[in-house]
Amino acid sequence: MAVAVSDEKALRRRPLRCEPWAARAFGVELRLGFEAPALRQAEVESAADPAVLELVYASSIDELWRDDEAEPLGWMPDGKGGALLELRRHPELGVRLAAGVHGRYLISNDGRHVACAPPAVADWYWQRMLIGQVLPLLAALRGLHVLHASAISLGDHAVAIAGAPGAGKSTLALEFALRGRRLLAEDVLALRLDGEDVIAEPGVSLVNLLPSEEVERTVGAAGLPVIGRSQKLHVDAPRASRPLPLSALYLLECETPGDDEAPLLEVLPNPSVPELISTSFVPYLSRAENLLAHLELAAALAHSVTVARVRADRSVSPAALARAIEDA
């Protein structure tokens, strides 16, 4: 008999920290029993098919989980020879995301329940894992396409900015926020297909920046709230509140400074499938249906969205990059 992770007898819930409230992120309606600073409260609380997020005791996940019946789903290295997080899927219990000191999380197979067992730290600190990994995985399991990209709103459409870690996505997103553009997504972008259109869903309002004196001055001058500090500076930026059609995908590429002959922005008339698929945020979802979904998205992007390569070397300022994208 299947065990439902939402069954009160299966998991021991922690006391509610607030009255249940609604949010929407990465294209998924959410119901929460705890405060989440990086999520925006939804105006409508009667949406169908929400995902319920609850705080539970970690020991109850451990007692429920049957590791010998689960299959590996993926892992992320911590840069020190270990694993930052590990994912395993159980045919009945769902997907467990084990993140060491960052807690344990269990997502039901139908994507309607998320049990969160965070460590005893400030909400904003453990919720970096919630919004950075758990909710994007939830969106992917519920059929959305999740990219490793930031996105901002330009009028009635959205543009996405993808690139490898350290390419400058977050810095560029902050630059757009300073120019009065609303952030649609930071680092993780959820997309859905609507006929021939690609629709970008709002993510979270948290921007994660490498701290420096210049960044501190910029954030302070803009009056952007600082939610917290770790190895990065975590800033709350104005967020777009509604889905927007995606009109362009910009691929940031780090290059050697000083190549004045190279164009700052180059439209790719025939982007390759690897260039498009490489932006996936959940490459560890490698089952046949997931691979087919990647190909479906790549075809939609190539057909209906402008794809361009952007030279992102340190000699080009974020302001120059932002102007080039706005003028394209």
Give the confidence band of 211 by pLDDT, cuts at 50, 70, 90: confident
Check residue 305 and report its DSSP letter.
S
What band does 246 get if pLDDT is binned at 50, 70 and 90? very high
pLDDT at position 9 is 54
**Host domain of residue 266:** 147-327
* Domain presence at residue 47: yes
Share of the chain above pLDDT 70, in %: 91
119 plus 157 within the same structural domain:
no
pLDDT higher than threshold 90 for residue 202: yes
Residue 132 is assigned to a structural domain of this protein: yes
pLDDT confidence of residue 277: 75
CB atoms within 10 A of CB 199: 17
Residue 1 predicted with pLDDT over 50:
no
| 215, 318: one domain | yes
Q: pLDDT value at position 46?
A: 57
Q: Packing angle between helix 213-222 and helix 169-178, nearest 10 degrees?
A: 30
User: pTM surpassing 0.75?
Assistant: yes
Q: What is the phi/psi pair of residue 193, to 5°?
A: -100, 135
79 and 152 inside one domain = no
- Within a domain: residue 13? no
**Tell me, what's the pLDDT at 44?**
55
- Residue 30 domain-assigned? yes
Last residue of a domain, one of 98, 126, 142: 142
Query: In this structure, are 210 and 88 located in the same domain?
Result: no
Q: How confident is the model at residue 8 (pLDDT cuts 50, 70, 90)?
A: very low
Residue 202's identity, in one-letter code, is P
Contact status, residue 229 vs residue 287, Cβ threshold 8 Å: no
Query: 125-148, pLDDT tens digit by residue?
Result: 898 889 989 999 999 989 899 998
Mark which of 142, 171, 205 sits at the end of a domain: 142
> In this predicted structure, what is the pLDDT of residue 305?
93
Please give the average per-residue pLDDT across 103-122, as a whole number.
Answer: 92
Distance CA 231, CA 324 (A): 30
Q: What is the pLDDT of residues 214-225, one digit of tens each?
A: 888 888 877 888
- pLDDT tens-digit profile of 252-284? 887 655 555 566 888 888 888 777 777 788 777
Phi-psi region of 163 (alpha: psi -120 to 50; beta: other; left: phi over 0): left
| pLDDT value for 43 | 63
CB 235 within 8 A of CB 226: yes
When divided into structural domains, the chain yields a total of 2
Summarised one tens digit per residue, pLDDT across range 165-183 is: 777 788 888 888 888 888 8
**What is the Cα–Cα distance from 235 to 238, expressed in whole angstroms?**
10
Residue 163, both tokens? 């690139």
User: What pLDDT sits at residue 260?
Assistant: 57
CA 270 to CA 52: how far, in whole Å? 41
Note whether 319 and 223 are same-domain residues: yes
Q: What whole-number distance in Å separates Cα of residue 96 and Cα of residue 284? A: 14
Last residue of a domain, one of 127, 142, 157: 142
Which pLDDT value is given to residue 2? 39
Residue 6 belongs to a domain: no
- pLDDT tens for 35-53 read 887 887 776 555 678 999 9
The predicted-structure confidence for 45-79, as pLDDT tens digits, reads as follows 556 789 999 999 999 999 999 999 999 888 877 77
Same domain, 90 and 183: no
Looking at residue 4, what is its pLDDT?
A: 47
Verify that 110 and 231 share a domain, yes or no.
Answer: no
Helix (H/G/I), strand (E/B), else coil: 215: helix
Same domain, 283 and 159: yes
| Residue 229: predicted pLDDT | 85
By percentage, how much of the chain surpasses pLDDT 90?
34
Co-location of 102 and 154 in the same domain: no
Residue 10 pLDDT class (50, 70, 90 cuts): confident
Shared-domain flag, residues 217 and 134: no
Residue 156: CATH number of its domain: 3.40.50
Mean pLDDT, the chain, whole residue set: 84
Taking alpha carbons only, the member of 250, 265, 246, 244 closest to residue 305 is: 246
Provide mean pLDDT across the span 298-306: 89
Nearest to 185 by CA among 175, 173, 197, 176: 173
CB atoms within 10 A of CB 37: 17
